[in-house]
A = this chain, B = another copy of it.
Amino acid sequence: MQFTINQLAELLGGEVIGNGEAKVNNIGPLDKAGPGTISFLHNPKYEPQLYTTKAEAVIVNRKLQLKEPIEPVLIAVEDPYSSLTVLLEQYQKLTESAKEGVEEPAFLGEGAEVGNSVYRGAFSYIGKNTTIGNNVKIYPNAYIGDNAKIGDNSIIFAGVKIYSGCIIGNNCVIHAGAVIGSDGFGFAPQEDGSYQAIPQVGIVILEDHVRVGANTTIDCGTLEATVIRSGVKLDNLIQIAHNVEIGENTAVAAQAGISGSAKIGKNCIIAGQAGITGHLAIADRVTIGAQAGIPKSVTKEGSILLGSPAIDIMNFKRSFTHFKNLPDMAGRINDLEKKVLNLPPSEK
């Protein structure tokens, strides 16, 4: 599979600067690309690599002002990152063979219904009365309980566990080892100090285009559903507790945790290892920094928070600057006290 740069530029709606007839057959990062490889520049931080790269061609932003002469041919586009996506999708289609059909042994429970063009890997399990849509891929060792529902075009990777009754929408991707629908952590303390488990009879609903990362866990609701709205993207090793609701197109990075009954708005960004307390609400378009801890509701849309407990990011940064200088500050207070102590007594 070899393409001219002109062909790719046409696919991407980009403008060629240099020899459009040069050929590429591979995609790679700037610092490792060689002849025949097309690369891209998205993060300005890596611009210096543009002047040293051995790549055949580089996709760049239309607005880029070159600071030095360069070797590779350029394809200037509106958004290099989106263009890369388009290229990679084509690349993936050409290089990956589509899985379809059943590898035996695979388990299909009584009353289960399976759509067309479905892949069911070896040792995959589909429980009773569960419905699987069209073009679904269920990889080996995945488990889907009874009375569950998987929408069209969704991909369930190896070893995913989906508890009975859960509902997965269309075009969802669930990565290996993720657990959907485990019991919420709800217990009634008893007088003797022990705990009585509160039965968790709810489910999990994933709407469409939801992405769940590897080994992420999403607990079922106590009575109703834990709901992950359309377009939500969850990274790996995230904990979503019972009765949580996450609004459309919110993205959550790895190892973040959201406690029970929290309601997260739309288009939020929650960075890695952040933690959100239960029974609170986060407004739309809120950004929560890495390792931040959110102790209470965030009502202002578009807030950016950092720290544990979290406060406005600018305030956090200002306070943290002084935190680093605390030994100095303490010394200055000592000096002031010595000086003031040695002053003549106040008149009063």
- In the bound complex, do residue A158 and residue B143 qualify as a contact, i.e. CB atoms below 8 Å apart? yes
Closest chain-B Cβ to A311's Cβ sits at a distance in Å of: 6
Point out the residues of chain B lying under 8 angstroms from A194, CB to CB: 209, 231, 248-249
Min CB gap A266→B, angstroms: 7
**Minimum distance in angstroms from A183 CB to a CB of chain B:** 7
B290 touches A293 (CB 8 A): yes
Question: Is A275's beta carbon under 8 Å from chain B?
Answer: yes
Interface residues on A, range: 35 or more
Q: Which of A10-18, A61-69, A112-120, A330-338 lies at the interface?
A: A330-338
A121 at the interface (CB under 8 A from B): yes
Are B329 and A318 in touch, CB under 8 angstroms?
no
Interface residues of A, Cβ cutoff 8 Å to B: 27-29, 32, 43, 45, 79, 81-82, 84-85, 88-89, 91-92, 95, 103, 105, 107, 121-123, 125, 139-141, 143, 145, 157-159, 161, 163, 173, 175-177, 179, 182-183, 185, 187-188, 193-201, 209, 211, 213-215, 217, 219, 222-224, 231, 233, 235-237, 239, 241, 243, 248-249, 251, 253-255, 257, 259, 266-267, 272-273, 275, 277, 279, 290-291, 293, 308-309, 311, 315, 318-320, 322-327, 329-330, 332-333, 336-337, 339-340, 342-344, 346-348
**Do B236 and A219 touch across chains, with their CB atoms under 8 A apart?**
yes
Chain B residue nearest to A237 in the complex (CB): B239
Measured between beta carbons, the chain B residues less than 8 angstroms from A255 are: 239, 255, 257, 275
Q: Chain B: which residue is nearest A238 at the CB level?
A: B237
Expressed in whole angstroms, the Cα–Cα distance for A249 and B213 within the complex equals 27
